[in-house]
Amino acid sequence: MALFSELGISRNTLKAVEKMGFEEATPIQSETIPLALEGGDLIGQAQTGTGKTAAFGIPMIEKIDVSKDEIQGLIIAPTRELAIQVSEELYKIGAGNRARVLAVYGGQDISRQIRALKKRPHIIVGTPGRLLDHINRKTIRLNTVHTVVLDEADEMLNMGFIEDIESILSSVPDDHQTLLFSATMPDPIRRIAERFMHEPKTVRVKAREMTVPAISQYYVRVPEREKFDTLTRLIDIHTPELAIVFGRTKRRVDELSEALTVRGYTAEGIHGDLTQARRMSVLRKFKEGTIDVLVATDVAARGLDISGVTHVYNFDIPQDPESYVHRIGRTGRAGKEGMAITFVTPREMSYLEVVERTTKKKMERMKAPTVTDALEGQLRTAKEKLYNAASSENLTAYLPLAKEMLEDQTAEDLVAAALKLFVKEPDEKPVTISEERPLPFRKESSYKGKGGSGKRPYNRDGRSGDRRRSGGNSQGGRRKSYSNSKPKNQSK
């Protein structure tokens, strides 16, 4: 860790960073900020949640000449939510300089964006589709841009986005500086990236593992049809502050959020088929804690920084190791702890090995809890909470009533009742979760990294996760529906 004041940045920016509550620079920040300030191209790779946004945001703000009313910085991000989040962070970093930052993304009224563009922003943060739209309408001109950032660079240079990126970059002056950042950078993508850059330097924060140590990682071997009960039991035992459940397809997400709601959890889903207004309102409710469980496709996997996410459940194991890294990286951010649990069906065990080999980290096996386990787990937590409250809180105000109650009822009955109030008993309300086709069986050695196979259908504008498998195994006719009305009393 280094001090921001040692990194050669202006007083205004230093103050802004201090106001954001940052005390010391993270390793990726202290390594890349001075380098980026020198002006060369740069690839920055560091684990999720380690402050890559400020690592490119600070030098970008430093390079903006606010006396010029022109677009000087361009940041491209794969999803709308991420574009908004990054623009907010840039706005904070640039507050001391009064740098104007604007986010442009699909799903928002374009005429509103055109009006905002008339205020002459210095920095534009956008999703590829909407950026191209503005370029074609000539409502955005990039001929004054000197710095370009691709956040989630590997995703942006993957199939489906690369043509958009190429065409956006073709309207930026040749001598611009390019900064690429991501937690993952598979080799085939790195080679593509280098084509876009001029003698790039690579900064890779040295870490033995690709994931942060603050996330404890588990897998549960569980047959497809037992996944839902396993999930609810785990949630009951873990009592997450905020949890994200990742599903493979949009339909999966809809069914899961519906089923969780039926069983008494406050859950909502987010995926690329929802209107932008809906996506934003779900995310806002999740950040505020109005909903505890966010069910999502990979649309929420990259870059989103939501504090308080303590648990990530991969209801379906992701197809690519990179997706795994980004999904679980929604927890364990900025030095906080987190837990990630991945469900693996017996047929999909080879994917687990691929993920582990890529991340260089073994997941620990966790047994699928039975109804009894779930109850015992919850009772342990309830006991702890009661003990803690009894020993650490001031109970004077409650004692008179407590004494009174003990005259009517035995202490045992009252404590038992208090415990019961903490516990969510098994709920048997019927829910429907369609069976997902397992990922195609593959021999471990056949994994070659993504990016070369053209498997991702082209679809513009930030619907990251949903682009991937929207055709394949999502709505195929091979699904079986089953009704999960009676949870089995035990599962293996």
Ligand X SMILES: Nc1ncnc2c1ncn2[C@@H]1O[C@H](COP(=O)(O)OP(=O)(O)OP(=O)(O)O)[C@@H](O)[C@H]1O
Residues that bind Mg ion (CB under 5 A): 52, 303
Q: In terms of residues, how long is the chain?
A: 492
Judged by CB under 6 A, the chain residues 160 through 189 that form the site for ligand X are: 183
Which residues have CB under 8 Å from 344's CB, separation 6+? Answer: 219, 220, 221, 222, 317, 351, 352
Q: Which residue has the tokens 């909502």?
A: 268
Among 334, 386, 414, 419, binds ligand X (CB under 6 A): 334
Looking at the Cβ atoms of 152 and 292, the one nearer to ligand X is: 152
Binding of residue 78 to ligand X (CB under 6 A): no
CA 174 centroid distance within chain: 33
DSSP 473-489: TSS-TT--EEE--S--S
Side-chain-side CA neighbours of 289 within 13 Å: the count stands at 6
Q: Write b or e for each residue in 331-362: b if 16 or more Cβ atoms lie within 10 A of its Cβ, otherwise e.
A: bbbeeeebbbbbbbbeebebbbebbbebbebe
Check binding of 59 to ligand X (CB under 6 A).
no
331 touches ligand X by CB under 6 A: no
Q: How many residues belong to the site for ligand X (CB under 6 A)?
A: 18
The interface partner of residue 50, options being ligand X, Mg ion, none and the CB cut-off 5 to 8 Å by kind, is: ligand X
> Residue 436 interacts with ligand X (CB under 6 A)?
no
Q: Which residue carries 């509103």 as its tokens?
A: 112
State which of residues 54, 159, 180, 235 lies at the interface with ligand X (CB under 6 A): 54
Do β-strands 432-434 and 481-483 pair in parallel, antiparallel, or remain unpaired?
A: antiparallel
Pick the piece of the chain touching ligand X (CB under 6 A) from 20-28, 97-105, 340-348, 358-366.
Answer: 20-28
Cα atoms found within 13 Å of the Cα of residue 88, Cβ hemisphere only: 9
CA distance 415 to 45: 52
Q: Under DSSP, is residue 251 helix (H, G, I), strand (E, B) or coil?
A: helix
Retrieve residue 113's tokens: 């964006």
Q: How far is CA 302 from the centre of its chain?
A: 5
Instruction: Return the structure tokens found at 159.
Output: 């199939």
Please identify, using beta-carbon distances, which residue of 303 and 369 lies nearer to Mg ion. 303
Contact call for residues 123 and 455 (beta carbons, < 8 A): no
154: helix, coil or strand?
helix
Q: Which does 269 bind (CB under 5 to 8 A by kind): ligand X, Mg ion, none?
A: none
Q: Residue 429: which region, alpha, beta or left (left: phi > 0; alpha: psi -120 to 50)?
A: beta
CB of 198 to ligand X, least distance (A): 24
CA–CA separation, 73 vs 408, rounded Å?
72
Nearer to ligand X, 3 or 277 (CB): 3
**Least Cβ distance, residue 448 to ligand X (angstroms):** 24
In the complex with Mg ion, which residue's Cβ is closer, 130 or 333?
A: 333
Site membership for ligand X, residue 247 (CB under 6 A): no
Nearer to Mg ion, 121 or 303 (CB): 303
Closest CB to ligand X among residues 101, 183: 183
Report in angstroms how near the CB of residue 90 gets to Mg ion at its nearest: 12
Q: Which helix (H) or strand (E) holds 271?
A: none
If one asks whether residue 33 binds ligand X (CB under 6 A), the answer comes out as no
Nearer to Mg ion, 334 or 386 (CB): 334
Tell whether residue 22 is a contact of ligand X (CB under 6 A): yes
Q: Which is nearer to ligand X, 22 or 313 (CB)?
A: 22
Interface positions, 360-419, toward ligand X (CB under 6 A):
none
- Listed residue (313, 348, 327, 315) closest to 439, CA to CA: 348
Instruction: Give φ, ψ of 375 to 5 degrees.
Output: -65, -45
Q: Which is nearer to ligand X, 57 or 487 (CB)?
A: 57
Q: Residue 13 or 26: which CB sits closer to ligand X?
A: 26
Decide if residue 53 touches ligand X (CB under 6 A): yes
**Is position 329 an interface residue for ligand X (rule: CB under 6 A)?**
yes
**Site map for ligand X, 110-149, x if CB under 6 A?**
----------------------------------------
Segment 256-315, which members bind ligand X (CB under 6 A)?
A: 303, 305
Q: Which amino acid is at 287?
A: K
Contacting residue, 49, 94, 160, 451, with ligand X by CB under 6 A? 49
Of the candidate spans 33-41, 52-60, 159-167, 257-265, the one that interacts with ligand X by CB under 6 A turns out to be 52-60
Minimal distance, residue 7 CB to ligand X, in Å: 11
Chosen from ligand X, Mg ion, none, partner binding at 487 (C-beta under 5 to 8 Å by type): none
Verify binding: residue 48, ligand X, rule CB under 6 A. yes
If one asks whether residue 327 binds ligand X (CB under 6 A), the answer comes out as no
With CA atoms as reference, report the closest residue to 314 among 263, 363, 384, 373. 363
Stretch touching ligand X by CB under 6 A, among 18-26, 118-126, 283-291, 449-457: 18-26
Under the binding rule (CB under 6 A), the answer on residue 333 touching ligand X is: yes
Q: CA-CA distance, 25 to 434, in Å (whole number)?
A: 46
Residues in contact with ligand X by the rule CB under 6 A? 22, 24-26, 29, 48-54, 183, 303, 305, 329, 333-334
